[in-house]
């Protein structure tokens, strides 16, 4: 197993819901984190959210004021990815669009050190396809975190066709160093997590569409009967209905089976701009 070197920073591109969680867990575990987002207001909002969550931990006496301040000090926004030269691990957490991710990896690949690991937090895009735009696919890997990142224990580590075992070992060790449990999967549509989760969410939407039960009853049945922490419709709202729709389309296209076809109601919700928590309207309404 690889040993962990906390003297070298971590680079993150993307300060949305997933990116800010990834930034927080690395910074809280003692790593310096360099952060870039094309939209500078996303970084401001991410820092404000991280500070709010840390303040909450201070008020619950889980961390001290000094620990909060030290965590915030370890996070450095950068205006350009050219500042990622010294990072040991680069994590991309940008929009779930292949072309956007490829553009980022092409730019960052020119800057990163020859042995730095290139990781993507993609939930459904092929790791092998993204690795192919970089100079050394053996250093490329999927590092799939779960929302809300500071709370969820899992990191699904996804091996591309050419990812080396040395890259896996290092990322496994880094995931453990930030308090997560890494589990290994191979590059295949939806990996393990979304290949199983998305058909369940889609089926819940089909139940709603077919009038089998009200949303509250569908969610309550899965929470109380199956001990899920939240029902599938509320979970879809948390993930983002656009994200669920995109993942189902990848499963449907790449696995070629009707069972993965997105529910028409999901498509309509996305077209209407009802994307869940982030737009305050999804299967539920949020304050």
The 211-240 contact track toward ligand CAA, x by CB under 6 A, reads ------------------xx----x---x-
123 binds ligand CAA (CB under 6 A): yes
71 binds ligand CAA (CB under 6 A): no
User: Reading across the β-sheet that carries 181-186, which strands appear in turn?
Assistant: 75-77, 33-36, 10-13, 89-92, 117-120, 140-144, 154-159, 181-186
Distance, in Å, from the CA atom of 176 to the CA atom of 181, rounded to the nearest integer, reads 6
The one segment of 39-47, 148-156, 172-180, 254-262 that binds ligand CAA by CB under 6 A: 148-156
Q: Please, what is the minimum distance in Å from the beta carbon of residue 136 to ligand CAA?
A: 26
Candidates 29, 36, 96, 123; catalytic one: 123
Task: Report yes or no: 233 and 215 within 8 Å, Cβ to Cβ.
Answer: yes
151 binds ligand CAA (CB under 6 A): yes
**Catalytic annotation on 124?**
no
Candidates 29, 92, 121, 144; catalytic one: 144
Residues facing 182 on adjacent strands: 155
The 258-277 contact track toward ligand CAA, x by CB under 6 A, reads --------------------
Q: Which residues of 31-58 are buried (b: 16+ CB within 10 A; e: fewer)?
A: bbbbbbbeeeebbeebbebbbebbeebe
148 binds ligand CAA (CB under 6 A): yes
Q: Contact with ligand CAA (CB under 6 A): which of 147, 164, 223, 249?
A: 147
Pick the closest to residue 109 from 140, 127, 75, 134 (CA basis). 134
Which are the catalytic amino acids?
123, 144, 156, 194
Contact residues toward ligand CAA (CB under 6 A) are 53, 60, 123, 146-148, 150-152, 193-194, 229-230, 235, 239, 243
């Amino acid at each position: 197993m690889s040993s962990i070197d906390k003297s070298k920073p971590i680079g993150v591109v993307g300060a949305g819901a997933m990116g800010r969680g990834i930034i927080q867990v690395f910074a809280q575990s003692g790593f310096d984190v360099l952060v870039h987002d094309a939209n500078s207001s996303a970084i401001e909002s991410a820092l404000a959210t991280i500070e709010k969550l840390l303040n909450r931990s201070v008020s619950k006496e889980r961390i001290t004021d000094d620990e909060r301040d030290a965590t915030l000090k370890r996070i450095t926004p950068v205006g350009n990815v050219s500042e990622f030269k010294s990072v040991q691990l680069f994590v991309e957490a940008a929009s779930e669009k292949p072309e956007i991710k490829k553009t980022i990896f092409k730019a960052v690949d020119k800057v990163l050190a020859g042995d730095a690991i290139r990781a993507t937090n993609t939930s459904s895009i092929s790791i092998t396809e993204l690795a192919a735009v970089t100079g050394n696919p053996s250093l490329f890997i999927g590092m799939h975190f779960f929302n809300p990142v500071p709370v969820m224990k899992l990191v699904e580590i996804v091996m591309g066709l050419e990812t080396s075992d040395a890259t896996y070992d290092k990322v496994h060790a880094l995931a453990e160093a930030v308090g997560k449990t890494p589990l290994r999967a191979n590059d295949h549509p939806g990996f393990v997590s979304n290949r199983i989760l998305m058909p369940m969410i889609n089926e819940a939407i089909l139940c709603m569409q077919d009038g089998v039960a009200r949303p509250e009853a569908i969610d309550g049945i899965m929470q109380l009967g199956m001990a899920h922490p939240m029902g599938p419709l509320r979970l879809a709202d948390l993930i983002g209905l656009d994200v669920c729709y995109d993942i189902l389309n990848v499963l449907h296209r790449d696995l070629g089976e009707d069972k993965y076809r997105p529910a028409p109601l999901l498509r309509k919700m996305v077209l209407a701009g009802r994307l869940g928590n982030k737009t305050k309207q999804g299967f539920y309404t949020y304050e």
